[in-house]
Amino acid sequence: MDKLLIRGGRALHGEVLVSGAKNAALPELCAALLTADPVTLLNVPRLQDVSTMLKLIRNMGVAAERADDGTVRIDASALSTPEAPYELVKTMRASVLALGPLLARFGEATVSLPGGCAIGSRPVDQHIKGMAAMGAEIVVEHGYMIAKLPTGWTRLKGARITTDMVTVTGTENFLMAAALAEGETVLENAAQEPEISDLAEMLIAMGAKIEGHGTSRIRIQGVEKLHGCTHRVVADRIEAGTFLCAVAATGGDVVLRHGRADHLDAVIDKLREAGADVQAVEGGIRVQSAGGATLKAQGFRTTEYPGFPTDMQAQFMALDCVAQGTATVTETIFENRFMHVNELLRLGAKIQVDGKVAVIEGVGTAGRLSGATVMATDLRASASLVIAGLVATGETVVDRIYHLDRGYDCMEAKLRGIGADIERIR
């Protein structure tokens, strides 16, 4: 099992190329199932979750070719098995995104209940509710969602769908299903993440009629057929945010090529309040910092986009650990997303947790974190431990980094390229 060995204390300088977004690539791979025409995706990141999704759609009978330059070509004309089995999706919650496309194009789908990181429950009831509103008959049996159209129906029917909570994968599933439904679908309380807008732009390029993406109300006028397209996956804002926090904590001067500052307003505002200099530049984002000990710890509350993202909570907490002062962090999205705290404590962090609230006392000028062996518990927790290790004195070993590989494309190579002393060991 691979580990990362980090020797901390180095400032970071240079450029990092931000990869395509995992949370855009996964639904867009599923969107390719909506047409029998070839689809080409550019800038697809090299991640374990992407490999799993490709394996999943190939298992359905789809031809999918992946090139070294991040290009993926998909041909779903021969799709023969509209099923996502547990064996292929047990490590990835994005498997639920196959439900909408399969149901919309083939009138049936059998999709395993999703897995993924153990950071909290992710009920699929909102997905079931939305598909049922469009006329699907769905039951959950033996760990699977089994969906089909009513007898005599050839297409789903447009509907007004109002979810009980903001759900990213739910919004994506409804977008894809509604694109081929009969009539108009209106999504109320829709998620507004940039990845959803990117998916909508891909669907529009395929012939879908969508308005309002990027807002809480999306209108989709269903069409009978979608065609192929070529689409470039949007840059990964969470990867960019992770590197922003890493440079702020270690100190240095780094430009994130392809980074989108307009997708990271909440994170960048907090970094500036902490004392880092973050600016949008042509073709990316530039971050300059004198290091964590010169920064002021910042409290925040995670919430749906455009608020502070839950996927950045652990990384910013690592920054707070090495800053000056005390910060309060409230996690409102997932109930188990403080599992990195115990590992940060092993490095010398000062954190107290009470339910959904963590209070971080930054070590600041009083001292530094100290290297130790720590264990990654989920994807973003892995990134927080890497950031802490980059700052800590001595050697830090991060174990179970298969979590990291699910969401970061060659993270250690990118960090090494800007001056970090980090290597993968087996």
Q: Given a cut of 80, is residue 151 above it in pLDDT?
A: yes
What is the band of 118 on the pLDDT scale with cuts at 50, 70, 90? very low
Per-residue model confidence (pLDDT) at position 121: 46
Per-residue model confidence (pLDDT) at position 122: 52
Distance (Å, whole) CA 122 – CA 169: 10
Per-residue model confidence (pLDDT) at position 120: 43
Cβ within 8 Å of residue 39, ≥6 positions away? 31, 32, 73, 74, 75, 76, 206, 228, 229, 230, 231
Per-residue model confidence (pLDDT) at position 95: 85
| Residue 199 contacts residue 31 (beta carbons within 8 Å) | yes
Domains 3-15+236-425 and 23-232 share a fold: yes
User: How do beta strands 108-112 and 217-221 pair?
Assistant: unpaired
| Candidate from 25-34, 118-127, 197-206, 317-326 with smallest mean pLDDT | 118-127
Cβ within 8 Å of residue 356, ≥6 positions away? 330, 331, 332, 335
Averaged confidence pLDDT in the chain: 94
Q: Given a cut of 80, is residue 411 above it in pLDDT?
A: yes
Per-residue model confidence (pLDDT) at position 116: 46
SS3 285: strand
Backbone angles phi, psi at 250, to 5 degrees: -85, -25
How large is the average pLDDT for residues 413-425? 98
Q: Which residues are annotated as a binding site for phosphoenolpyruvate?
A: 22-23
What is the band of 290 on the pLDDT scale with cuts at 50, 70, 90? very high
Selection from 290, 395, 374 nearest residue 8 by Cα = 395
Whether the ω angle into residue 306 lies within 30 degrees of 0, i.e. cis, is yes
Q: For residue range 234-282, what is the model confidence (pLDDT) as tens digits?
A: 999 999 999 999 999 999 999 999 999 999 999 999 999 999 999 999 9
Distance (Å, whole) CA 320 – CA 328: 10
What is the band of 365 on the pLDDT scale with cuts at 50, 70, 90? low
What is the band of 115 on the pLDDT scale with cuts at 50, 70, 90? low
CATH number listed for the domain at residues 23-232: 3.65.10.10
Q: Given a cut of 50, is residue 161 above it in pLDDT?
A: yes
| Residue 425 contacts residue 15 (beta carbons within 8 Å) | no
Distance (Å, whole) CA 41 – CA 315: 29
| Residue 373 contacts residue 8 (beta carbons within 8 Å) | no
Per-residue model confidence (pLDDT) at position 335: 72
Fold of 3-15+236-425: UDP-n-acetylglucosamine1-carboxyvinyl-transferase; Chain (3.65.10)
Per-residue model confidence (pLDDT) at position 123: 67
What is the band of 114 on the pLDDT scale with cuts at 50, 70, 90? confident
Query: In this structure, is the dihedral angle defined by the CA atoms of residues 85, 91, 96 and 98, taken in order, positive or negative?
Result: negative
Q: For residue range 385-394, what is the model confidence (pLDDT) as tens digits?
A: 999 999 999 9
Q: Given a cut of 70, is residue 181 above it in pLDDT?
A: yes
SS3 254: strand
What is the band of 215 on the pLDDT scale with cuts at 50, 70, 90? very high
Q: Which residues are annotated as a binding site?
A: 22-23, 93, 122-126, 311, 333
Per-residue model confidence (pLDDT) at position 43: 98
Per-residue model confidence (pLDDT) at position 119: 35
How large is the average pLDDT for residues 291-314? 96
Q: Given a cut of 90, is residue 46 above it in pLDDT?
A: yes
Structural domain boundaries in the chain: 3-15+236-425, 23-232
Amino acid symbol at 17: L
| Residue 30 contacts residue 101 (beta carbons within 8 Å) | yes
Q: Is 290 left (phi over 0), alpha (psi -120 to 50) or beta?
A: alpha
SS3 386: helix
How large is the average pLDDT for residues 381-403? 96
| Residue 302 contacts residue 328 (beta carbons within 8 Å) | no
Which positions are annotated as active-site residues? 117
| Candidate from 156-165, 202-211, 358-367 with smallest mean pLDDT | 358-367
Q: What six digits make up the tokens of 420?
A: 């970090």
How large is the average pLDDT for residues 363-381? 89
How large is the average pLDDT for residues 142-166? 95
Q: Which residues are annotated as a binding site for UDP-N-acetyl-alpha-D-glucosamine?
A: 93, 122-126, 311, 333
